Amino acid sequence: MHVAVRAHETLTLTSLPAIADADGEEEAAPELEKKLTPEGELAQVLQILSDIVANGDLLDGHLKNLTKKLMTEKLSFDQAYKWLEEVMPVDPLQRYGLTMMQFDGMLERHWTDPKVKEGIHPIVGMPTKTDSADEVPVLSDDKVIEVHKYMLE
């Protein structure tokens, strides 16, 4: 049975296997699984990639705050862990109800899309492409030769 939800989604009744929770105990999987159109799936992949980058930036800020806190206060490991656990952002995959394997499959289907490639770059540490020539340092030929001579010394 298919039910139209939005232009890019349909809900399907499926029999999904049980899922193990964080304690290792199995719980019943949801009865409805969202099936996205290719366009809807691409939009979801781009949103998840954006959320992952945003979470990374947020976590970086929290880690800087934790470092400052550790330098000014005497926190035990457990206290620091609990503080970090409280401010930890929700995993985007968990928010969308996806496993890493499902997301990998989605990425595999859309890896050729330029927007997906661009969305992956900050996650894997690649610099983002700049369109401005002002940001690229310009070296004269003499300066390049001087640097090479210095490297040979």
61 and 28, same domain (yes or no): no
100 and 79, same domain (yes or no): yes
Print the domain residue range for 45.
37-127
- 56 occurs within a structural domain: yes
- 150 occurs within a structural domain: no
Cα separations in angstroms, 21 against 35, 92, 122, 126: 23, 17, 30, 34
Q: What is the pLDDT of residues 64-108, one digit of tens each?
A: 999 998 889 988 999 989 998 999 889 999 999 999 999 999 999
Tokens 């330098």 locate to: 71
Structural contact between residues 116 and 107, judged by C-beta atoms closer than 8 angstroms: yes
117 and 46, same domain (yes or no): yes
9 and 83, same domain (yes or no): no
Write out the chain's pLDDT in tens, 153 residues: 333 334 444 333 333 344 444 555 544 444 334 677 888 899 999 999 999 999 999 999 999 999 998 889 988 999 989 998 999 889 999 999 999 999 999 999 998 999 999 999 888 887 665 555 566 677 888 888 888 888 888
Domain count, the chain: 2
- 10 occurs within a structural domain: yes
